[in-house]
A and B are shown apart, each in its own frame.
Chain A
């Protein structure tokens, strides 16, 4: 039986984590490779890196990070942030990532999804989708609008329609982030998670809002997500990954335990 996945998300700028990560012994890690290695050892099922570097020089540093991560962990990891061409995708995949995630660039040019899937296979292409609750309207029947550039720019696209289109274009997975829930620690946005999970056949990763183990359970059961993205809840050593998994297992969900 396929396990529900827990995926820590690490933000990297100029080759370093944007926020240090505290592990049990209060060691503060700023090195993304060391942090990835720790999460690998603690039972993370996959790791997501977001590169929020702006400069071209920073990009080179980031590719070096990807290569060092690939030599240090033996689980899949994906890379997102500013990827806007097949050449960018090839760079990070050759450096050792399994998947690339495209977000704003795919909204601007949806053919990027198809080109990526044709070049590397659908399994390598994740659609990052930031959804904002706006209420149902004629142009946004689902009530959730796609927003880009970190949630600042509305696109006029319906989130459900965009998810279905991305699946048709060849995306192998959707990482669905709720802009409303992101950073609140009040729980995942279950309505949009369930709506999109129910309507696509590819896996959906729920993102944004995790504050306690019950929130993960809700997203993976009621929300019907295949995986849950976690950040603060694990980075500040509130809940080790092992504890989150033991909780989900005790509630009857299939998870990978050590």
Chain B
């Protein structure tokens, strides 16, 4: 079973619906034991960094996530979840989880789009990802596949952690992490077939990992 971390941040149910559709067992939970017993975590999120961190810290989920990922439990961060896995966010000037080094920053002003006109913020809609390193997460995807984004800030992880780049007035890091600890700025649960493929790939990875450690 995959555990979707419940911290009242909006889109847990969208992720659950996508997993249900794929026949992947999952639970929305903040219970430490359920998180521990899952084969992998999904850390979704919509909203603002400061408020989210307040809930995570006061509920003890911050500590649980640090402990579980530190012990090798796989985790997939999505959108706001992806951003607050880093150490700090420019949004609300918030200290964030620090699961991986780096910080979340705002799109700079005065960037231009392909047509020479100013980019729009939020970056809202469908865009491609250039995956720059191999990963089991993007098996069976095509380079032309697009994913649904909606965000005004983006992750800027430490060098070497970027796994995928997307262009919106400039290249920004849209996927980062390392084996078993991945962060996606886009919403796989809202990205049609390619997004569902990523969720399936993640589940397969978690199952294989659980089978190996048994």
Contacts and interface: CB of A to CB of B under 8 A. Distances in A.
Interface of A: 1-3, 5, 40, 45, 70-71, 74-76, 93-94, 96, 98, 120-124, 172-173, 201-203, 221, 224, 226-227, 254, 256-257
30 contacts: A1-B113, A1-B114, A1-B167, A2-B113, A2-B120, A2-B123, A3-B125, A45-B125, A45-B126, A70-B14, A71-B17, A71-B21, A74-B21, A74-B193, A76-B150, A96-B13, A98-B14, A98-B150, A98-B190, A121-B46, A121-B47, A123-B46, A123-B124, A123-B150, A124-B46, A173-B124, A202-B121, A203-B122, A224-B117, A256-B146
A4 B126 CA distance: 8
The A interface is mostly helix, strand or loop, or mixed, namely loop
A98 B10 CA distance: 9
Given A2-B113, A45-B125, 5 more contacts: A2-B123, A3-B126, A74-B21, A75-B148, A203-B120
B13 A94 contact: yes
B127 A1 contact: yes
Contact of B192 (A40, A221, A254): A40
Interface size class for chain B?
35 or more
Nearest to A72: B21
B58 interface: no
Given A1-B128, A2-B168, A122-B122, A74 B192 contact: yes
Contacts, number: 94
Given A124-B46, A224-B117, A75 B122 contact: no
A172 B20 contact: no
B20 A71 contact: yes
A227 B126 CA distance: 11
Contact of B48 (A2, A5, A121, A202): A121
B155 interface: no
Nearest to B142: A258
Contacts of B125: 2-3, 5, 45, 203, 226-227
